[in-house]
Amino acid sequence: MAHLGACPASTPSRRYNGGVEASPLRRHRRLRRTEPLRALIRETSLSTRQLVYPLFVEEGLSGRRPIPSMPGQDRLGLDALAAEARDLRNLQIPAVLLFGLPRDKDDRGSAAWDREGVVQQATRRLKDANPDLLVVGDVCLCEYTSHGHCGLIRPDGGVDNDATLPLLAETSVSLAQAGCDVIAPSDMMDGRVGAIRAALDVAGFAELPILSYAAKFASAFYGPFREAAESTPQFGDRHGYQMDPANARMALDEVLTDIDEGADMVMVKPALPYLDVIRQVRDAVQVPVAAYNVSGEYSMLMAAVQNGWLDEARAVNETLTCIRRAGADIVITYHAKQWAARR
């Protein structure tokens, strides 16, 4: 016979005190009573060491130019990078993700692998000003092609996947030679991780890691970025090579394929509409997982802040914490400097 007052087997989390059941919810309330208590038991941590700050660098620009659709964000000229690198060091933000806007574009995107290209020059300037800064080089052709697509175009108007791979590989080697610490292919061409890994190894960069945009969805949330980077396709769209937003199982397959090809880290992009995918990827792989809190997510929040509908500090902190809680080890976000300045 069970002892009178013993906790029933079906509710092992409940306890009795003098015959009166004490609710676990009351226990939760006690643990939320003060900020030191909340901090002591907080399950998900957020710090600057987990943040990557995207930068847009424009060839020929002097100083900074605001991006209208992304309040608080600027395009930077090469002459503004030293000060930016020092700011990031003072804020303890460890890494940047570089996007380049070249002066000239062509149908092959040849400025992407130019040894004196805008990102190559930006990398050297950032490293000169802040040697400890991790520079992640985005690898794609869309910012450099006159047509705005991520690869070469066939006569029928489609993207030529296989013909694009050598150009992505050449771009990756060029960025490595300029001093990039991480190579991040975002183009979504099939086989590009394997091609880039092979090219880096042959060029003497076998130790350089690849952060693959492995699950990059064909999202409506890229709109402000395309303005900022001048990378809007001049015809068609990218649905043929970026992922259908409805497919999570396919995303996991893409992630596992990239790891098999040599990716050292993988990314889910965007972040907030795909928290479930971040969690599935985190549970399935052992490599670090990044999530990109993209331009449209940033701009929506900032528009609400400007209209007085949201408290910026609280909304940003909640957003980044939730991305971490979903399983992201690394968060790429335009909020990085704002969050770091307030922490």
pLDDT at 1: 39
pLDDT at 37: 87
Centre a 10 Å sphere on the Cβ of residue 3 and count the other Cβ atoms it contains: 6
C-alpha dihedral, 190 to 191 to 197 to 200, nearest 10°: -80
The answer to which of 10-19, 61-70, 116-125, 191-200 has the lowest mean pLDDT is 10-19
Domain ranges of the chain: 46-342
27-31, 141-145, 216-220, 265-269: range with highest mean pLDDT: 265-269
Distances (CA, A) of 297 to 188, 293, 315: 21, 6, 12
Confidence label for 25 from pLDDT (cuts 50, 70 and 90): confident
Length of the chain: 343
**Pick the residue with more confidence: 126 or 109?**
126
Contacts of residue 277, Cβ cutoff 8 Å, sequence gap at least 6: 215, 248, 251, 252, 268
Is pTM beyond 0.85? Reply is yes
pLDDT at 232: 66
CA distance 284 to 270: 19
pLDDT at 197: 97
Host H or E run for residue 27: helix 24-31
Q: What is the DSSP string of 49-68?
A: GGEEEEEEEETT--SEEE-T
Tell me the β-bridge partners of 333: 293
Strands 20-22 and 64-66: unpaired
pLDDT at 158: 84
Contact 305, 315 (CB under 8 A): yes
Write down the H helix ranges in 203-328.
Answer: 223-229, 249-261, 275-284, 295-306, 312-326
The architecture CATH gives domain 46-342? Alpha-Beta Barrel (3.20)
pLDDT in tens, 150-189: 888 888 888 899 999 999 999 999 999 999 999 999 888 8
The SS3 assignment for 38 reads helix
Average pLDDT, the chain: 89
Where in the sequence numbering do the catalytic residues fall?
A: 216, 269
